[in-house]
Amino acid sequence: MTYRNYLVPLTLVLYLFSTQLFATHSAVEKYDGTVNSFRWLKSPLKVSEVQIHDNEGNPVTLSQFKDKIVLLNIWASWCTPCIRELPSLDRLQSRLGGENFVVVAVSLDNIPDLARELFFDRLSIKQMKFYLEPADKLSQVFPIDVLPASFLINRNGEAIGLLRNYVEWDDPLTDTLIKRLV
C-alpha cells in the first residue's frame, strides 16, 4: 500500500476523534441538552469591545448589539454538534430575534466562504447573519476549549452565562429564559 492509501482512513479517524473531543465538556459542568445547562458567571465578563467580522470581512464589535440580549454562539464547520445546532439557532432568531434579542453565530473557520457555502447555505440558514473570527482571537476572551460554545451577553455588553455543548434551542425552556432576560 502506498502512502496515499493510508491517508484517507487516517484522516477519517482523526476527524471522528476530533469531533468527539470538541463535543465533550468538563464533568463538573452539568449538561442536559437544554438551556438549564447554562453556567452562570459569578462575575460578568466585559465583552463589548470584542471584535468579530461580518460576511464581507468588515469588523463588528459586540458593542454594536448594545441594548440587546445577545446569544453568542461559537461554532466551526469541522464540529458535528455545531452543525447540528445551527438550524435550531436560526429558528430561535426567527422566533425571538428583534430589537431586544439577537443570535450571533461566529465561525472559527479559516476558509469563511467554504463554511458559509457548505453550512449556512446548505442548511438554509436565513435569519442569522454569518460572522467569523479566528479561534486565537476569541479564546483571549472566551473559554472556547469545547465547541459549540454559547454565551449569554446582557444589555451592558457583559457575558453573564456560558454553555459549552450542543443545545436544542427549540425547547420551550429556551423561550422562557430569553423572555425573562429581555
Q: What is the pLDDT of residues 56-88, one digit of tens each?
A: 889 999 999 989 999 999 999 889 999 999 999
First to last CA, the chain: 61
Cell of 149: 460554545
pLDDT band, very low/low/confident/very high, at 27 (cuts 50, 70, 90): low
| Global pTM exceeds 0.85 | no
The sign of the CA dihedral 178, 27, 135, 169 is: negative
How far is it, in rounded angstroms, from Cα 30 to Cα 166? 12
Least Cα distance to 39 among 159, 138, 134, 147 occurs for 159
Q: Are 168 and 36 in contact (CB under 8 A)?
A: no
Cell of 121: 447555505
